[in-house]
């Protein structure tokens, strides 16, 4: 039987239903799907944020690790999820901005499949060498590479990874040519760097900070545009003679496309409250992470900017998903 209320809902359509959902949201736990294994920088950032955000929203934030496929498996899962505000994708610059150039086809569209919410953090990449190597500056490393072309081995955490592209950019700006050695993750690469099986690499701060502090790796420069508060005396690569070099990584949270604007606004406000707290910012900083907050438009703009920036770099690298 069609009641006056049913007819009204039908006439108003989805926007009315979306508004009602936004008013009632959240009423149960929210799932955040990560395209990475537990223990990495993205996982640490999510698990530090989750309980604080859950306290603000009044419902648990559940972290689910779905690795594989270069991040595409998790991205597709969320892209196909109901846009009801209870499934979130935590994507980083690699998945959202590099994969479109690295893979011939993707089961999702980084722009069309998602509704951005906010960045959550950024992490710097540090240029490191084994402690036993004689190089103490970017100039030293570059001189060694120019003196013996195609003899210096550079590790990376996987084909098309930010660390891989950082080496490509380094070679372009320095006029050098590295031997690229891919690994399945930053941890194994760091292990071989420490053991001296590699000559250099760009690795995230949390992965190598303890090895730097213990004297097992030597940091030559940091890849970000500005110096890190954790290592204030460490010059940037740009300051060290390669102007224009800037490489960092960020993670963002995104809803499936079609999520009610009111839900996105409420989640963004809750994330902003959590991510600007001194407590969480301090927890991030102690692990080599920098808390970030942004609006949805800024996340969308970052994805589009980085996609355009890295597309020619991926082509120059010759990287493929298989290596």
pLDDT in tens, 150-175: 999 999 988 888 899 999 999 999 99
What separation, in Å, do the N-terminal and C-terminal C-alpha atoms of the chain show?
Answer: 61
Band of residue 183 on the pLDDT scale cut at 50, 70, 90: confident
Instruction: Kindly tell me if the per-residue pLDDT of 281 is higher than 60.
Output: yes
Chain-centroid distance of CA 321 in Å reads 18
Residue recorded with tokens 């500056």? 137
Indicate yes or no: pTM above 0.75.
yes
pLDDT in tens, 218-261: 999 999 999 988 889 999 999 999 999 999 899 999 999 999 99
Band of residue 70 on the pLDDT scale cut at 50, 70, 90: confident
Number of H helices, E strands in the chain: 13, 10
Domains of the chain listed by start with CATH number: 4-123+249-317 (3.40.190.150), 124-222 (3.40.190.10)
Residue recorded with tokens 């991510």? 275
Nearest to 127 by CA among 39, 238, 24: 238
pLDDT in tens, 194-209: 999 999 999 999 889 9
Residue recorded with tokens 């996987």? 158
**Residue 73 near residue 35, CB atoms below 8 Å:** yes
Q: Provide the pLDDT for residue 323.
A: 56
């Amino acid at each position: 039987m069609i009641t006056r209320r049913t007819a009204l809902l039908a006439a108003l359509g989805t926007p009315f239903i979306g508004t009602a959902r936004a008013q009632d949201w959240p009423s149960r736990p929210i799932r955040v799907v990560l395209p990475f294994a537990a223990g990495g920088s993205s996982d640490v950032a999510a698990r530090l944020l989750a309980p604080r955000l859950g306290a603000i929203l009044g419902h648990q934030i559940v972290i689910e690790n779905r690795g594989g496929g270069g991040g595409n498996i998790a991205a597709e899962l969320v892209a196909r999820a109901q846009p009801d505000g209870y499934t979130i994708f935590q994507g980083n610059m690699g998945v959202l901005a590099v994969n479109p150039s690295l893979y011939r086809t993707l089961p999702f569209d980084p722009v069309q499949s998602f509704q951005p919410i906010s960045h959550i953090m950024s992490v710097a990449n540090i240029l490191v060498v084994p402690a036993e190597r004689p190089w103490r500056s970017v100039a030293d490393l570059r001189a060694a590479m120019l003196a013996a072309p195609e003899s210096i081995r550079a590790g990376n955490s996987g084909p098309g990874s930010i660390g891989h592209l950082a080496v490509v950019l380094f070679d372009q700006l320095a006029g050098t040519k590295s031997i690229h050695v891919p690994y399945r993750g930053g941890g194994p690469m760091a292990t071989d760097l420490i053991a001296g099986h590699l000559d250099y690499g760009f690795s995230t701060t949390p992965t190598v900070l303890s090895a730097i502090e213990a004297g097992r790796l030597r940091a030559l420069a940091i890849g970000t545009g500005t110096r890190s508060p954790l290592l204030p005396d460490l010059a940037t690569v740009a300051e060290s003679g390669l102007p224009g070099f800037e490489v960092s990584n960020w993670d963002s949270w995104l809803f499936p496309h079609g999520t009610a604007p009111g839900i996105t606004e409420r989640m963004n406000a809750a994330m902003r409250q959590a991510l600007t707290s001194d407590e969480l910012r301090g927890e991030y900083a102690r692990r080599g992470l920098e808390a970030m907050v942004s609006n949805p438009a800024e996340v969308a703009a970052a994805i589009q900017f980085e996609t355009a920036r890295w597309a020619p770099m991926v082509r120059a690298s010759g990287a493929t998903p298989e290596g």
